[in-house]
Structure 1
Amino acid sequence: MEAAGLGLTTKMVVSVVLGGVLGLIVYLYGVLVLHPRRLQSKLRRQGIRGPSPSLLIGNIAEMKKIQLQAPPSTATEHHLPLSHDWPSTVFPYIRQWRIKYGPTFTYSTGNAQLLCITDPEMVKHISLCTSLSLGKPSFLAKERKALFGSGILTSSGANWAYQKKIIAPELYMDKVKGMVKLMVDSTTSLLRSWESRIEKEEGFADIRVDEDLRSLSADIISRACFGSSYSQGKDIFVKLRTLQTVMSDGFLHFGVLGISHLPSKSNRLKWRLEKEIDTMIINVVKERIGAQHGEKDLLQMILEATKNAYAEYDRPFVNMSSDKFIVDNCKNIYFAGHETTATTATWALILLAANPDWQARARAEVLEICKDGTALPDAEMLRNMKILTMVIQETLRLYPVSSFVAREAFEDVKFKDLLVPKNTIIWIPVPTLHQNPDVWGADVNLFNPERFANGIQGACKIPQAYMPFGMGMRICVGQHFAMVELKVVLSLILSKFCFSLSPAYQHSPMFRLVIEPENGASLLMRKV
């Protein structure tokens, strides 16, 4: 009897195990084979083509091969003017497949099926969509979890709508105007150190500006949003920078099933950094809660708004505690508020150094408005800096902060004659649109701020094709903060220094989640 019972139990266990294995196989077959094929078939029937994907990895192997074959893009000051056609070397597969398959094509990275759209008219229609059924890709939120958590940059639907309701009002222009003095104070401190170096080096100094601008932008976002200086939050920014580098190294592998869960060296480092950053931010939050200040910083305002939201709604955030909301959005603000602005300021200085005529024009305007440099810029002065605004806009066109705008269709959605099936990821390469000659004209690869003399509407045929801060209702809530900070930093630098490219500078844009100079940015600087 006991033997028979034992045998029956063993058979049941074996049956359960086999059933589980069979269920896993069926699930994996559905996820890895059936689901991608269904999406590809629906798109193919509408005339959308693309390279044939491989099981598990999609088109990653082909993307790597095309990248290896692409010629490097480097130049020194001896090869002026600089070449701005960097997308063909950084993302060569986009250009190659666009030529082969047309302006709208499909490809995949692992299990992620991407519908790549470079047609400006189609992008216009997508940007006008206000439905919450079109949001940030769910897989991207998982892939970037360590850096952004479930904050405003990666969330979708009601979750995103609630976060925007709390954060966006704190970054409206009327609030940002009150931060100008703080930005001026931080920038003035950096420029004094540059002046000191120039004096010690007999009138000229070779300065690595990208590193200094990154520290400056971190100091500004720290003071404006968290009531502390860069020195106090330095460890957070250093760890975020390391995390950014680690995650950009694996960019092509996003969408590969399970790869983010493997205990690889990079994943273990990513997990450790995520835990350390979260802990440090929690400590900053605790410190701010206990602080008493007459004037509240952004973090305190967000803390109060979050508290009020949780009091008003039973479930204001889907599967998200108030602590997680605060920590994740602090990470979003830390990264988006300092890394992207610093990178844009760096490219602006590089472009002005390579185009001394525009540098002279921008400086003349700044000195006129700021009374020959005797008056520090305020909100009204910044608003009147038209030439500087044009320079920044052209910088963002040639070197946009974000290389891709990504959306996922959570339901079937139609744009013009194209029906985008549910679960398809819409993938819009921003540099391709920003350097489309049909939209911008024959001089599309030249630095020409004059094209923005009559604003964005007058600069190109389809204004929605210009998207340095994203597009549609999900446009960056911090764009006013970023533009004001860029004007403050660049106007003060122009008022005090003349600069040219250092002999050490190599023009080699590369992708590290943002497009930045691979070898940094060294400028020869002297006082005006």
Structure 2
Amino acid sequence: MINVMVESSITLVNSWSEKIEKEGGVAEIKIDSHMRSFSGDVISKACFGSNYAKGQEIFLKLRALQELISKIAFTSTIPGFRYLPTKSNREIWKLEREVQSLILKVVKERKEATSEKDLLQMILEGTKNSGEPGRGDVMDHFVVDNCKNIYLAGYETTAVAASWTLMLLALNPGWQAKVREEVMQLLRGGQYPDADMIRKMKTLTMVINESLRLYPPVAVVSREALEDMKLGNIQVPKGVNVWTLTATLHQDPNIWGPDADRFDPERFANGVTGACKLQYAYMPFGVGPRTCLGQNFAMAELKVLLALIISNFSFSISPKYRHSPALRLVIEPEFGVDLLVRRL
């Protein structure tokens, strides 16, 4: 998929270059929609192959669905509230029906055509080999739910991570220059990133890791206690859900030191194990046996995109930028990220 990531990044770079030229050398760009377009393009091709245009339509509806759900996710504590025919719930139900219909339409077209090497094909083969014959409705739900999960895990999170990383690099020109120097050495002669190059991007990896520490896309990691247990001095009864607030954990001075709230990629110079007192306290992709399956894919996406942006542009924070991390289904910039971008 590296070639797809490069193609999508070039599309973004070209659109920014055109905008900069039209605006006389410096363009003010709200980057969030551009990050989503890039991530959506990559994940649509990864998931839906030649049908990626339909995939983008599905992801747009899932984005709208996520925004609606996030508005009530942390405020609705009334049991059974999600079943009440409120305006928000009716809109959610309508979008869910539309998303399901679109996904199943793509599935039907795929079954009637030749198979492709993409995530959708893997999901369909998984249902075929599941040993659940004659349960079409269950299999339909399985396919739809997995496609939704790919959206949240592989689309929105990557776009938000890219936005936060560019914001931090805009605020820290010294680190922006260090990353640019590393990238320029690897991309000599106008080369594009490949799998071997991105493995050598140590400084960029440090910057991404530090960005994911300060602004982890996933706000909460939750687990249900399957039996009575004890966590430290806390007794947790069976059936209780334990929520770990990732951003709080990532900025605990007892774990990360007194500068825990400061942007310092150098702390990752020796990898995650040397960055803090407890390596399992760093969990932007989860931890343990349920670590995100797409971790390497997401890191490759971020490196390819950021390498091509940094090698083509310099950027700083716009005076219009308002810093307001919003706790929704992901931690995202509430008012977006505004940058002043110049062509190198």
TM range (shorter): over 0.9
Are residue 206 (structure 1) and residue 28 (structure 2) matched?
yes
Are residue 431 (structure 1) and residue 247 (structure 2) matched?
yes
CA distance, structure 2, for counterparts of residue 416 and residue 234 of structure 1:
46
2:318 to 502, 518, 523: 502
Query: Counterparts in 2 of 1:409-448, with a 5 A limit?
Result: 409-415=225-231, 418-448=234-264
CA distance, structure 2, for counterparts of residue 394 and residue 189 of structure 1:
27
In the alignment of these two chains, the number of paired residues is 344
Are residue 181 (structure 1) and residue 3 (structure 2) matched?
yes
Conserved? CA contact 2:51–2:106, under 8 Å: no
TM-score by length of 2: 0.95
Are residue 194 (structure 1) and residue 16 (structure 2) matched?
yes
Q: What residue is the counterpart of 2:140 in the other structure?
A: 323
Conserved? CA contact 2:312–2:343, under 8 Å: yes
CA distance, structure 1, for counterparts of residue 186 and residue 51 of structure 2:
29
Q: What residue is the counterpart of 1:350 in the other structure?
A: 167
User: How far did 1:231 drift?
Assistant: 4.3
Superimposed CA distance per residue, residues 271-324 of structure 1 (whole angstroms, 9 cap, x where no aligned partner): 11111111111112222223336x5112112212321233xx789x9x972221
Query: Counterparts in 2 of 1:46-61, with a 5 A limit?
Result: none
Q: What residue is the counterpart of 1:259 in the other structure?
A: 81
CA distance, structure 2, for counterparts of residue 187 and residue 467 of structure 1:
27
CA distance, structure 2, for counterparts of residue 431 and residue 219 of structure 1:
28
Are residue 301 (structure 1) and residue 118 (structure 2) matched?
no
Q: What residue is the counterpart of 1:268 in the other structure?
A: 90
Between the two proteins, what is the percent identity of the paired residues? 55
Are residue 397 (structure 1) and residue 213 (structure 2) matched?
yes
Q: What residue is the counterpart of 2:179 in the other structure?
A: 362
CA distance, structure 1, for counterparts of residue 247 and residue 311 of structure 2:
31
CA distance, structure 2, for counterparts of residue 451 and residue 223 of structure 1:
35
Tell me the secondary structure at the aligned position of residue 188 of structure 2.
coil
Aligned-pair Cα RMSD in Å: 1.9
Tell me the secondary structure at the aligned position of residue 321 of structure 2.
coil
Conserved? CA contact 2:46–2:119, under 8 Å: yes
User: How far did 1:230 drift?
Assistant: 5.8
Conserved? CA contact 1:343–1:516, under 8 Å: yes
Superimposed CA distance per residue, residues 360-403 of structure 1 (whole angstroms, 9 cap, x where no aligned partner): 0001101111115x110001100010000000000000000111
CA distance, structure 2, for counterparts of residue 423 and residue 275 of structure 1:
31
1:492 to 285, 308, 329: 308
Are residue 460 (structure 1) and residue 276 (structure 2) matched?
yes
CA distance, structure 2, for counterparts of residue 344 and residue 485 of structure 1:
11
Q: What residue is the counterpart of 1:147 in the other structure?
A: none
Q: What residue is the counterpart of 1:245 in the other structure?
A: 67
User: How far did 1:254 drift?
Assistant: 4.3
Tell me the secondary structure at the aligned position of residue 266 of structure 1.
helix
Q: What residue is the counterpart of 1:85 in the other structure?
A: none
Superimposed CA distance per residue, residues 133-169 of structure 1 (whole angstroms, 9 cap, x where no aligned partner): xxxxxxxxxxxxxxxxxxxxxxxxxxxxxxxxxxxxx
Q: What residue is the counterpart of 2:114 in the other structure?
A: 292
Tell me the secondary structure at the aligned position of residue 303 of structure 1.
helix
Superimposed CA distance per residue, residues 9-31 of structure 1 (whole angstroms, 9 cap, x where no aligned partner): xxxxxxxxxxxxxxxxxxxxxxx
CA distance, structure 2, for counterparts of residue 369 and residue 289 of structure 1:
43
User: How far did 1:235 drift?
Assistant: 2.7
User: How far did 1:238 drift?
Assistant: 2.0
Tell me the secondary structure at the aligned position of residue 206 of structure 1.
strand
TM-score by length of 1: 0.63
Gaps of 5+ in 2: none
